[in-house]
Amino acid sequence: MPRTVEILQSYGVGDDLLRKGHRAYFFCNYNYDPATAGIKFSSKLQGINEPTAQHKCCILHHQGFIESLLLSGLLQAGVKVERACKPVKMALSEDESEFDNPKAYPVKLVLEHAAAAPGTPSTEAVRAKFVVGADGAHSWVRRTLDIAMEGDSTSRVWGAIDFTPLPSSTFPDWRNIATVNARDAGLMLIPREDGKVRLYIELGTEDALPRDARGRPDTSGLSPAALLDIARGVFKPYTLETRPEDVEWWTAYIVGQRVAARFAEKRRVFIVGDACHTHSPKGGQGMNVSISDGHNLAWKIAHVLKSWSPMSLLDTYEAERRPFAQELIAFDRWYAEGFSAKARAKLVADTADGAGVALPGPLEAFLSFSAITTGVGIHYAASAITSPTSSPEPGAAAPGPFALMPGKRVPPHALVRVADRRPLTLQDALPADGRARLLVFSGALTGADDAARMVSIERAVKALVDRVWKERFALVVVLARVGDATPYLDVPMGLREDWTSVLVDAVSPFSNESGGAYAALGVPASGQIVVKLEQYLHGWMI
Amino acid sequence: MPRTVEILQSYGVGDDLLRKGHRAYFFCNYNYDPATAGIKFSSKLQGINEPTAQHKCCILHHQGFIESLLLSGLLQAGVKVERACKPVKMALSEDESEFDNPKAYPVKLVLEHAAAAPGTPSTEAVRAKFVVGADGAHSWVRRTLDIAMEGDSTSRVWGAIDFTPLPSSTFPDWRNIATVNARDAGLMLIPREDGKVRLYIELGTEDALPRDARGRPDTSGLSPAALLDIARGVFKPYTLETRPEDVEWWTAYIVGQRVAARFAEKRRVFIVGDACHTHSPKGGQGMNVSISDGHNLAWKIAHVLKSWSPMSLLDTYEAERRPFAQELIAFDRWYAEGFSAKARAKLVADTADGAGVALPGPLEAFLSFSAITTGVGIHYAASAITSPTSSPEPGAAAPGPFALMPGKRVPPHALVRVADRRPLTLQDALPADGRARLLVFSGALTGADDAARMVSIERAVKALVDRVWKERFALVVVLARVGDATPYLDVPMGLREDWTSVLVDAVSPFSNESGGAYAALGVPASGQIVVKLEQYLHGWMI
């Protein structure tokens, strides 16, 4: 999803995803047609239409690949992930004063090394400043903290299978995202890299499954052949042809629609991703939301460790992500409704005349939630780090989609870099390197008057940064306009120590025509300074 | 240069260059101004303006990086390059009949391993089918074959130095390509990746240098500090500030403007790159032309080895690349003239009134040769592999820049892939994988009549490919238009076995409006089949 691509890009690990991922531009919908007792094409819509999404498509690659991007980014930073190592015991300090001290190690853990060399101990006791449980739907960390999952008690069973269809398969939309609703079953098709596809096949509620000896739903009777048989039934009258050797992977699993009651314990132990929210795979949200959780939490822990922020900053993680997870579950319930047996039954009843109408729009549902599902429209509530210091003028127009707003991500508005005229976006100038940014919208620089004004801006910025924060902040200068003959040297040196951070609103390397950046970002032509923490904005005028 | 980027992309190794290279959009010119006795800004022009160049900029990275792209591409293909290994003896077979047999090994070589393990022999005798001397201006292969270099006997000395300028340096165009002509010296500035720059500094003819004991020009008196001092003199009144630790690399070398009398011996030993042509670095051509040489030769050797082509195919290497090298030298002479001491003297004389005019346009010279310098306009003469089988209609309009022409490269016209609506260019569908292509411009596919016609095209193509060549050819289908509701399945299966090779002329993923591809490519609306070898076109109508 677009926001996830932005996050990976901001860490410098997104390029391979852009290069190798499959791009899905369209979402298709096929529904049951009583006239033929098979499915029929219903609609095809542009899947991503958020104006601020830089790529108007979903970019798809399997989870192992995304993990390899993150692992290689970590390796470049000198961090090696240890596998075959899991916590088996966790206890928090009984000395309450330790929790307020960011230098303390108040979490005691026992780790078990599954692959310990013979003769070396297989367990290891460690003390940690922070623990993050990114350990999935069955999270050990969550259970150890005794955090309840709140939500639906009935759970649905999904099959997932990855394979390459043969060209002789007659279903026409293998390379688009598709929701397919037959009379008795439904599935979702996600095209993958290298011509593969993934199907998510709804297998009913867990009550429909036999129970194993311990009373748990038993998926062991399932197989790739069984899943493909169900899918073939759904696709009729179209065909799905594949060979056993073209099946790459399959699974079956039970999902609830649940959110953890808490995301954190004593500001020291956190849970992220599937450990704190589970939902159906249909919205394509699982990994996307989980990566956003991690991105939200990581910089906050870093700022606390560097003594740049008080421990209370960490409270904003749950305050921001838990309401978002709840919104997502609400979406998931509504969206999944379009696939349910009840909805299918209603469809059949409603269309007794055989006309074959569409279900009440799962695609439209997806698109109406697209600020959430794409991730680019997430808007966190006001807090210590998201309150604006100024209010909009009375009678001012509503902010447009690109407007800089406290609590929203900085949008990727197109700009041009002054020194080399390279086109880029405002986001490209804001890598997630741990530093906050002073975005200096300094107005136009076209003549001697402007040059003099720039010098006073340089002085103001220097005073501000020297006084308040120093190493935490990097500058990004966005000029409203430069003249065709404006020398780059007219930007005062204090504002251009890093030539890559001086940008201008222009439509192309070869033209100084304005691309309307100031107006779109909601910045007055006279200029503004905007303070940006990792994901948030505070704003005030200079 | 654009054509080199295309070639690297076609081998699947260009993405990292696009990602990490510096992009230079402008070429600047600074000339001597007698009024101030310093340089003065003269002109700034868009550097790459060839309409068919996909990136309108030069993309710059150092040679070691480009080599690493090629090496990693080779590694992925299972080829490891042996270093510290050089030929010391080469002899061609005395049995003439061997030369006509592509399975024979008529070249005997003795290789010397500089890093042989103690106790193992340091030399090794091998027999080769083919030998390619890519061994630089002092080519051992060329000398062993006794091939003369033809051209200028006087040679110029250039210094080259890589460094990072400090932000306090006042020269305004570090991030653009710049030619700078002072009164007594001149230089060329090439911005590099990561904020570095390279300067090529003209140091005069080799006669100006002292001689060493063996009578060769002696560059040992030079140093980075000496080169930077000369450069500082050229840049006046602007400053160049850098620290010794910011100097990355430097060299001084002598270049002639020479072309080898032959590029091959007995269709078995070839020379490429600097081994067959040397010229000044000012056109930025050295590595570009050399990579093109290799690309031109490689597929021909492959086709001969696979018995797809007679040995005579190899004659086209010299027939195509040597005239091109000669054209390049002609350009280099004209271009270098703008930097010469004589031109500078003339400038000073002409501008005795102190007005400070531009030299007779080195930038304009560069741009007027841009079909050659960018590489995208190279047009090889007619030959067995480049002759058209049809002539233009009398009175037909002159072909536009995107027109498919025998002897020119296939241009990267924008298209959309039918199955997933991904935007790409015609070149993206033509990777350099050793296979030739049948480009099937099949006309529109919007209704039942078209679908029937497509079936007859499928039959014709199948007959053609089965009869003439089979494994050598892959299909690429370019539809003129599809209807908004045209099912992908209407493309007959024989034309869509590879879904990634079915394209359509459309402006975006979301619109079927024509991008004018057929007209621009010079293909009739009724359709055409075009046969493409690695770089060339034959065309005929169906």
The answer to whether A25 contacts B500, with C-beta atoms less than 8 Å apart, is no
User: Same structural domain for residues B322 and B418?
Assistant: no
Of the residues A319, A337, A355, the one at which a domain ends: A337
Query: B37 lies in a domain?
Result: no
Indicate whether B358 pLDDT > 50: no
On whether residue B393 sits in a domain, the answer given is no
Q: Both B328 and B432 in a single domain? A: no
The model's confidence at residue B501, banded by pLDDT at 50, 70 and 90, is very high
Residues A3 and A49 in one domain: no
**R_g over Cα of chain A:** 26
Closest-CA residue to A6 (of A324, A407, A412): A412
Can you say how many angstroms the Cα of residue B140 is from the centroid of all Cα atoms in its chain?
A: 24
State residue B153's pLDDT score.
62
Is A382's pLDDT higher than 90? no
pLDDT band at A357 (very low <50, low <70, confident <90, very high): very low
Looking at the 3D structure of chain A, how many domains does it have?
4
Same domain, A428 and A515: yes
Note whether A273 and A233 are same-domain residues: no
Closest CA–CA distance from residue A287 to any residue of chain B (Å):
23
What is the structure's pLDDT at B236? 97
With 80 as the cut, is the pLDDT of residue B37 above it?
yes
A168 min Cα distance to partner chain B (Å): 7
Q: How many CB atoms lie within 10 A of CB B510?
A: 14
B488: pLDDT confidence band, cut at 50, 70 and 90? Answer: confident
Q: Cα(B299)–Cα(B302) distance, rounded to whole angstroms?
A: 5
At residue B515, does pLDDT exceed 90? yes
The confidence score (pLDDT) of residue A344 equals: 53
pLDDT at A372: 85
Smallest Cα distance from B176 to chain A, Å: 6
Residue A381 pLDDT grade (very low, low, confident, very high; cuts 50, 70, 90): confident
Cβ atoms < 10 Å from Cβ of A226: 16
Average pLDDT rounded to a whole number, residues B324-340? 79
- Contact indicator for A292, A1 with CB cutoff of 8 Å: no
Yes or no, beta carbons of A489 and B26 under 8 Å apart: no
The residue-averaged pLDDT of B164-189 equals 93
Separation CA A303–CA B38 (nearest Å): 51
- Which of B421, B486, B495 has the most A C-beta neighbours within 10 Å, making it the best mutation to test the interface with A? B421
Q: CATH number of the domain that A442 lies in?
A: 3.40.30.20
Chain A residues with at least one Cβ partner in B under 8 Å: 15, 19, 22-26, 46, 56-57, 167-168, 170, 172-176, 191, 195, 419-422, 487-489, 493, 496-500, 509-510
Give chain B positions within 8 Å (CB) of A497: 167
Give per-residue pLDDT as tens, A45-87.
999 999 999 999 999 999 999 999 999 999 999 999 988 899 9
pLDDT bin (cut points 50, 70, 90) of residue B215 is confident
Bridge partners (DSSP) listed for residue B264: B270
Phi, psi of A417 (to 5 degrees): -80, 135
Q: Examine the fold and report which residue of B314, B337, B360 is the final residue of a domain before the chain moves on.
A: B337
Instruction: Tell me the backbone φ, ψ of residue B123, rounded to 5 degrees.
Output: -120, 160
- Domain end (from B290, B320, B337): B337
Minimal C-alpha gap between A311 and chain B (Å): 37
- The reply to whether A157 and A117 lie within a common domain is no
- Specify the higher pLDDT residue, A346 or B417: B417
Q: Verify that B419 and B519 share a domain, yes or no.
A: yes
Query: Does residue A361 surpass a pLDDT of 60?
Result: no
Same domain, A221 and A170: yes
Q: What is the CATH number of the domain that holds A268?
A: 3.50.50.60
Q: Which helix (H) or strand (E) is A496 found in, with range?
A: none
Mean pLDDT of chain B: 88
Looking at residue B331, its pLDDT comes to 83
Same domain? A89 vs A131: yes
**Whether residue A99 is found in the same domain as residue A34:** no
Task: Tell me the pLDDT band of A138, cut-offs 50, 70 and 90.
Answer: very high
Residue B484 within a domain: yes
Q: What totals of helices (H) and strands (E) does chain A contain, helices first? A: 12, 25
Q: Which of B94-103, B310-319, B459-468 has the lowest mean pLDDT?
A: B459-468
A178: closest chain B residue by CA: B420
Contact: A497, B167; criterion CB under 8 Å = yes
- Whether the CB-CB separation of A297 and A317 falls below 8 Å is answered with yes
Confidence check: pLDDT of B275 > 70? yes
Q: B421 with B534, same domain?
A: yes
Residue A186: CB atoms within 10 A of its CB come to 27
Which chain B residue shows the shortest CA-CA distance from A494? B167
Domain region containing A476? 414-540
- Weakest-pLDDT range from A210-219, A428-437, B73-82, B125-134: A210-219
Domain membership of residue B238 (yes or no) is no
Q: Which residues contact B511 (CB under 8 A, 6 or more apart)?
A: none
B424/B525 same-domain check: yes
Q: A377 lies in a domain?
A: no
A499: nearest CB among B175, B420, B496 = B175
Kindly determine whether residue A26 and residue B421, on different chains, have CB atoms separated by under 8 Å: yes
Token pair for B427: 């070149």
The pLDDT tens digits for B146-168 are: 999 998 766 788 899 999 999 99
Cβ atoms of B290 and B272 closer than 8 Å: yes
Min Cα distance A166 → chain B (Å) is: 9
- If you average pLDDT over every residue of chain A, what do you get? 88
**Domain for residue B205, yes or no?**
no
Q: Is residue A392 very low, low, confident or very high in pLDDT (cuts 50, 70, 90)? A: low
CATH number, domain of A157, equals 3.30.9.10
Cβ(B109)–Cβ(B140) below 8 Å: no
Q: What are phi and psi of A251, to 5 degrees?
A: -160, 170
Rounded to two decimals, the pTM is 0.90
Alpha helices (runs of H) in B472-540, residue ranges in sequence order = 517-521
- pLDDT exceeds cutoff 60 at B210: yes
Amino acid A478: pLDDT? 97
The mean pLDDT of A329-339, rounded to a whole number, is 75
Instruction: Categorize the per-residue pLDDT at B534 as very low, low, confident or very high, splitting at 50, 70 and 90.
Output: low
Average pLDDT over residues A213-231: 87
ipTM of the complex: 0.88
Q: Domain for residue A521, yes or no?
A: yes
pLDDT digits (tens, 9 = 90+) for A274-295: 999 998 887 788 899 999 999 9
> How confident is the model at residue B154, as a pLDDT?
64
Cβ <8 Å between A56 and B487: no
Average pLDDT, integer, range B94-109? 95
The confidence band for B219, taking pLDDT boundaries of 50, 70 and 90, is: confident
Average pLDDT estimate for B1-15: 95
Question: Which structure tokens are listed for A140?
Answer: 């050990």
User: Does residue B344 lie in a domain region?
Assistant: no
Nearest CB to A496; choose among B23, B167, B176: B167
In B, minimum Cα distance to A421 occurs at B25
Given pLDDT bands bounded at 50, 70 and 90, which one contains residue B529? confident
